[in-house]
């Protein structure tokens, strides 16, 4: 449907954000819609467009479908690119598309100490999130693998991992080997 509308030239500004600063590519990244993300990028959408906040606190529409992030108020500044949204949503296919279109894999989120500051840290839930090992899923390891393969900085990313986290890397041993190189000693 989105592709058909874009092809019809309905005169939509594909970079225009909503009141939370979310543009069409943020929504495609959040939903994991590779087809929509590809269509938007082929039409020249900015891959570096940033949000204003996580938002979604009201007004209905697509914004109401965003889950609440633990530790982040909906109106708290959260200046993130589509890559960050795809990473925190566990959408490896969209992450790979964005990487193919030349995004900065080490771009940093601004405005909060939670959820970031990079897409790799978001994918692996490093920082203020405090993800429990049992919540650490395959989809996030796929995102992390795509980011590391694209050259994301691994410094300190695995510092807080417990043995339970490390055991989640079964089948992703090469990824773990690359991440553990970045463990910082104190």
Domain boundaries, the chain: 2-180
Domain 2-180 coded CATH 3.40.50.880 = no
Q: State how far the Cα of 110 lies from the Cα of 97, in Å rounded to an integer.
A: 23
| pLDDT, mean over the chain | 82
Q: Is the pLDDT of residue 129 over 50?
A: no
pLDDT band of 87, cuts 50, 70, 90? very high
Mean pLDDT calculated for residue range 136-164: 90
The whole-number average pLDDT for the span 103-118 is: 81
Closest C-alpha among 58, 4, 51 to residue 30 = 51
CA distance 15 to 3: 15
What pLDDT is stored for residue 2 in this prediction? 64
pLDDT at position 111: 74
Q: pTM for this structure?
A: 0.85
State the pLDDT at residue 124: 86
Does residue 123 register a pLDDT over 70?
yes
d(CA 79, CA 50): 6
Q: Rounded mean pLDDT of 53-79?
A: 63
């Amino acid at each position: 449907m989105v592709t058909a509308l874009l092809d019809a030239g309905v005169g939509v500004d594909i970079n225009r954000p909503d009141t939370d600063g979310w543009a069409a590519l943020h929504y495609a990244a959040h939903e994991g819609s590779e087809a929509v993300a590809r269509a938007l990028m082929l039409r020249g959408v900015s891959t570096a467009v940033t949000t204003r906040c996580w938002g979604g606190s009201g007004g209905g529409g697509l914004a109401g479908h965003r889950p609440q992030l633990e530790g982040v108020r909906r109106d708290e500044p959260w200046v993130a690119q589509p890559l960050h949204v795809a990473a925190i949503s566990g959408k490896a296919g969209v992450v790979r598309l964005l990487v193919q279109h030349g995004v900065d894999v080490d771009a940093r989120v601004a405005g909060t100490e939670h959820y970031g500051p990079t897409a790799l840290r978001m994918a692996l839930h490093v920082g203020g999130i405090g993800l429990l090992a049992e919540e650490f899923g395959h989809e996030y390891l796929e995102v992390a693998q795509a980011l590391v393969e694209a050259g994301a900085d691994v410094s300190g990313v695995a510092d807080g991992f417990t043995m339970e986290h490390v055991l989640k890397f079964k089948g992703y041993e090469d990824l773990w080997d690359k991440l553990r190189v970045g463990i910082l000693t104190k």
